[in-house]
């Protein structure tokens, strides 16, 4: 018999007990769908966190080695000199789209009656806030612009604490690079929410010039390098590090502690889940095939008596498992795709994760490689399960098989 004939023979055998075959296909379909939905959700989460981390700091961060590795005695002790010239040099790389300076400082912010600790960041407003996109939500007032001087944006929790609103006057206090206390009056342009309550209670955005004036310096803390796409990160890092050996070029992955923690946790959770589902599918297919083989023992004996070789029978039974597993896997992939599209048409909002105050949309990112891998794994597991169960029966003596009751 040709391979096509054996496949047809196996397909007809699966239809002999439709109920059992349907249950087997259904289990394989549900297992495949569960694996794809879990994997697609994890992939969407990874991509979202990666984009958030890259938009926050830049795909690459350029600073002095001491700035990234040592504590400072005074603000910007290890800051970058000549940031404008360095920025132009970095923009010469073909993969670089934006280079944004940042001045990071701590101190106090006061409304005249009450003072509280702040974490302030001096930014290039137009570019920085445009790049942040959906990861920074303005809740009142307006965003900063390049024309603003002496204006700030406050985290909404910090604004409530200081009873500040757009147009209010505040005073920023910090230590200069010479270790002298300095104060600067500013106006509140607007308030924002990052989705992280701890940050919203402390974070202040201002422009780079205002931050440098408060610290009495022309240095910046870091330069955030934004590339044309995420995939360019490693190659661009190698080029920029070679071009500027006296500086440290760090990738967003090295700074994304939350991203790495979530990825490690999800890998363990979904790894165990995948293992459990795979074991269930194997046992269901093995059980179904075992019942089919036992019921057909005398038939197998008859075929052996007519000259059919054990390996031919084993091939036929393995093909039955392959057909059941592949059919279930393809149905499961179709179900997962339908759920993925359905979530785009009918959005479902997830609750805020630990440490955050804003939820996020539930979406499933199915990629061809993931779908093909899961379908192939299910088909292979089903085939192996069927072959292992059938192996013993097809090799038993013909007389014993014919006498089976």
pLDDT in tens, 36-72: 998 898 888 888 888 888 888 889 999 999 888 888 8
Report yes or no on 59 lying in a domain: no
The answer, yes or no, to whether residue 378 has pLDDT greater than 70, is yes
Q: Using 50, 70 and 90 to split pLDDT, how confident is the model at 354?
A: low
Region 342-355: what's the mean pLDDT?
Answer: 82
Domain assignment of residue 89, given as a range: 65-246
Are 322 and 329 contacting, i.e. CB atoms less than 8 angstroms apart? no
Report yes or no on 73 lying in a domain: yes
Are 147 and 171 in a shared domain?
A: yes
Which of 201, 221, 246 marks a domain boundary?
246
Report yes or no on 80 lying in a domain: yes
Are 332 and 197 in a shared domain?
A: no
Are 300 and 214 in a shared domain?
A: no
| Rg of the chain (C-alpha set) | 32
Which stretches of 114-256 are DSSP H helices?
Answer: 125-132, 156-162, 197-200, 208-215, 233-243, 252-255
Are 48 and 69 in a shared domain?
A: no
Which of 213, 246, 279 marks a domain boundary?
246
Query: Helix 18-57 and helix 257-295: axis angle, to 10°?
Result: 170
Are 270 and 381 in a shared domain?
A: yes
Are 277 and 187 in a shared domain?
A: no
Are 227 and 159 in a shared domain?
A: yes
Q: Which residue has the higher pLDDT, 236 or 134?
A: 236
How many domains would you assign to the chain? 2
The percent helix, strand, coil of the chain (3-state, each to 5) is 55, 20, 25
Q: Which residue has the higher pLDDT, 107 or 145?
A: 107
Which of 187, 212, 246 marks a domain boundary?
246
Q: Which residue has the higher pLDDT, 22 or 134?
A: 22
**The model's pTM:** 0.76
The structure tokens listed for 351 are: 């609750």
Report yes or no on 254 lying in a domain: no
């Amino acid at each position: 018999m040709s391979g096509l004939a054996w496949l047809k023979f196996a397909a007809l055998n699966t239809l002999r007990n439709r109920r059992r075959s349907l249950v087997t296909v259904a289990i394989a379909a549900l297992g495949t769908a569960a694996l794809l939905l879990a994997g697609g959700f994890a992939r969407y989460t990874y991509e979202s966190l990666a984009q958030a981390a890259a938009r926050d700091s830049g795909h690459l961060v350029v600073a002095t080695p001491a700035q990234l590795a040592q504590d400072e005695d005074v603000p910007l002790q290890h800051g970058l000199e000549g940031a404008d010239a360095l920025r132009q040099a970095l923009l010469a790389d073909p993969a670089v789209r934006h280079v944004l300076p940042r001045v990071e400082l701590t101190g106090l912010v006061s409304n005249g009656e009450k003072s509280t600790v702040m974490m302030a960041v001096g930014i290039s407003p137009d570019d920085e806030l445009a790049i942040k996109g959906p990861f920074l939500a303005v809740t009142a007032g307006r965003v900063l612009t390049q024309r603003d001087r002496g204006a700030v944006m406050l985290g909404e929790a910090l604004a409530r604490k200081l009873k500040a609103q757009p147009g209010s006057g505040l005073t920023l206090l910090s230590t200069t690079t010479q270790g002298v206390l300095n104060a600067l009056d500013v106006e509140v342009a607007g308030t924002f929410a990052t989705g992280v309550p701890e940050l919203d209670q402390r974070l202040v955005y201002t422009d780079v010039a205002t931050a440098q004036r408060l610290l009495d310096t022309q240095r910046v803390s870091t330069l955030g390098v934004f590339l044309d796409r995420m995939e360019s990160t490693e190659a661009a890092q190698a080029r920029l590090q070679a071009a500027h050996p006296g500086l440290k070029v760090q990738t967003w992955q090295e700074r994304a502690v939350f991203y790495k923690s979530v990825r490690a946790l999800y890998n363990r959770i979904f790894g165990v889940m995948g293992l459990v589902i795979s074991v269930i599918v194997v046992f269901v297919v093995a059980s179904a095939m075992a019942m089919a083989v036992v019921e057909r023992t005398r038939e197998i004996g008859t075929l052996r008596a007519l000259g059919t070789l054990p390996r031919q029978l084993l091939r036929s039974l393995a093909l039955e498992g392959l057909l059941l597993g592949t059919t279930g896997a393809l149905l499961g992939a179709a179900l997962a795709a339908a759920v993925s599209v359905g979530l785009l048409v009918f959005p479902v909002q997830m609750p805020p994760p630990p440490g955050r105050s804003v939820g996020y949309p539930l979406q499933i990112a199915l990629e061809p490689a993931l779908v093909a891998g899961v379908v192939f794994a299910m088909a292979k597991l089903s085939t192996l399960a069927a072959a292992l169960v059938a192996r013993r029966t097809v090799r038993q003596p013909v007389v014993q098989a014919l006498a089976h009751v």
